[in-house]
Amino acid sequence: LGEFKAPRDARVDARGRVFVSDADNHRIQVFSPEGRLLQLFGQKGSGRGELLRAHALDFDQRQRLYVADVDNSRIAVFSHSGKFLFAWGKDGRQPGQFHAPHGIGVDPNGDVIVSTYYGPCQKFTPKGEFLFDFAPAQPPDGPIHFHSMAVDRWGNVYLAARDRLQRGRIVKYNNNGDFIASWRLSAEDMVVEAVTIDARGTVFAAYRGPGRMGVEVYAPR
Summarised one tens digit per residue, pLDDT across range 67-117 is: 999 999 999 999 999 999 999 999 999 999 999 999 999 999 999 999 999
Q: What is the DSSP letter of 127?
A: T
Spatial distance between the Cα atoms of 10 and 123, rounded to a whole number of angstroms: 22
- pLDDT for 75 equals 98
- pLDDT for 144 equals 78
Asked whether the predicted pLDDT for residue 219 surpasses 80, the reply is yes
Asked whether the predicted pLDDT for residue 140 surpasses 60, the reply is no
The pTM score is 0.93
Among 76, 105, 128, 117, which residue's Cα sits nearest to residue 11?
105
- Of all residues in the chain, what percent are helix, strand and coil, respectively (each to 5)? 5, 50, 45
CA separation (Å) from 134 to 115, 119, 157, 178?
Answer: 9, 9, 11, 8
Q: Hey, how many other C-beta atoms are within 10 angstroms of the C-beta on 90?
A: 12
The residues facing 123 across adjacent strands are 113, 132
Cα dihedral 48→51→55→58 (10° resolution): 30
pLDDT digits (tens, 9 = 90+) for 21-32: 999 999 999 999
CA separation (Å) from 210 to 76, 126, 185, 206, 213?
Answer: 34, 40, 14, 14, 8
Burial tier of 22 (Cβ tally within 10 Å: 0-12, 13-18, 19+): buried
